[in-house]
Amino acid sequence: MRSFIITIGILASATIATIASAQEPYYSGVDSIGAKPIAQDPAPALFFEAKVHWPSLKLDAPRTAWEFAQRGMYRQDDLEDVAAAEADYREAIAMDGHLLIARARLGTILLKRAGTETSSAARVNLAAEAIDQFDEVLHEQPFRPGMHKKIAQAYVLQYQAQGDPARADMAVTAYRAELAQAPQNQSVHYELAFLLNGLGRGTEARTHIDRYLELAALHGDPYPYKILAAEQLRQGL
| End-to-end alpha carbon distance in the chain | 90
Convert the pLDDT of each residue in 12-57 to its tens digit.
Answer: 444 434 433 333 333 333 433 344 444 444 444 444 568 889 999 9
What pTM value is reported for the model?
Answer: 0.80
Please report, rounded to a whole number, the percentage of residues in the chain having pLDDT higher than 90.
78
Provide the pLDDT for residue 53: 92
Q: Give the count of beta carbons closer than 10 Å to the beta carbon of residue 122.
A: 13
CA distance 50 to 69: 10
Domain boundaries, the chain: 44-175, 183-237
CATH fold, domain 44-175, is 1.25.40
CA distance 112 to 63: 28
Provide the pLDDT for residue 187: 97
CA distance 234 to 217: 15
In the chain, the amino acid numbered 157 is L
Q: How far from 83 is each of 7, 71, 75, 120, 199, CA to CA, in Å?
A: 62, 12, 9, 21, 35
Please report, rounded to a whole number, the percentage of residues in the chain having pLDDT higher than 70.
79
Output DSSP code: residue 26. T
Residue numbers of the chain with a pLDDT score lower than 70: 1-49
The CA angle 193-198-199, to the nearest 5 degrees, is 100
